Amino acid sequence: MDIDLNVLNLASALTHHATARQRVIAQNVAHSDTPGYKARDVVDFQTTLENRIPAFDGRATRPGHLVFGAASAGVALRETTVLGAESPNGNTVSLEDQMMRAAQVRQDFDLATGVYRKSMDILRMSLGK
């Protein structure tokens, strides 16, 4: 029996995208006072699905190095600047904008997990369990 589980694959991809976006938002907030830091965001989910961008893996050459980038989800990053957010030191992170983006990520994650949960419920019902 061949079951097409595209809905589950799509929900999983959205979950990975939301995770990668949350990681980038956290990096932006962490660098909100770093001179010259440019705020970044993940390319939208539709574009990511269409392009299936290969993952970028930052390489840690020493034990103390932190791995950077959104490697686990294989998404592309782009610079984002909110009008009027650039500070005199060149930093473009707006904490208010980052909090709004974090709320969007939460909604995406909740949608993905809701779809996944309901799909699993339907599968269980169809199996009689």
Q: Token match 């840690």: residue? A: 60
pLDDT of residue 67: 55
Query: How far is residue 9 CA from its own chain's centroid?
Result: 16
Distances in whole angstroms, Cα of residue 6 to Cα of each of 29, 100, 122:
34, 30, 14
What length is written for the chain? 129
3-class DSSP assignment, residue 104: helix
Confidence of residue 2 (pLDDT cuts 50, 70, 90): very low
Q: In this model, does residue 41 exceed pLDDT 80?
A: yes
Q: In this model, does residue 47 exceed pLDDT 60?
A: yes
pLDDT of residue 94: 86
Pick from 49-53, 54-58, 92-96, 114-118: least confident: 54-58
3-class DSSP assignment, residue 40: strand
**Residue bearing the bigger pLDDT, 65 or 46:** 46
Q: In this model, does residue 54 exceed pLDDT 90?
A: no
Distances in whole angstroms, Cα of residue 57 to Cα of each of 3, 50, 99, 112:
33, 21, 26, 25
- For residue range 59-81, what is the model confidence (pLDDT) as tens digits? 666 676 555 544 444 567 777 77
**What pTM value is reported for the model?**
0.68
pLDDT of residue 12: 86
